[in-house]
Amino acid sequence: MHGTVGAVALDEQGDVTAGTSTGGVFLKLLGRVGDTSLPGAGTYATQFGGASLTGLGESMMRTLITKTACDSMRMGLDAQGAASSAVNMLSNMLATEAGIIVIDNQGGISLAQNTPHMAHAWFKKGMPEPVTGL
């Protein structure tokens, strides 16, 4: 009935992209705009990396957390560092649950979550099959 689907990718030319689709908050108020339509909240990508996030949209809009993750990569963190710091920031600042997937411009892929479950998969050229998990 509701849920988030996010994707981040790095192509052979080194271009990074990210996208997010969400079912939104169940029984949301009429007229509510979620985080996926706001750059830097639920989705963001730069030449340094990309990020897609799931969680309560209001928290993502207040922190622009996917932009923060991409800024972390611009400042030298890899995908793992950016993902971990983003979720830690949300936990510490707003005590909210979230999950993030991140790719850096070197092809590093990572995720971080403070939720009980977050289905995920990733695949790189040359791998026989994707890595998956909950």
Catalytic residue annotation: 4
Distance CA 16, CA 21 (A): 18
Start-end of H helices in the chain: 57-63, 65-74, 79-94
CA dihedral of residues 44, 46, 50, 54 (deg, nearest 10): -10
Distance CA 28, CA 31 (A): 8
Under a CB-based contact definition with an 8 Å cutoff, are residues 72 and 64 in contact?
no
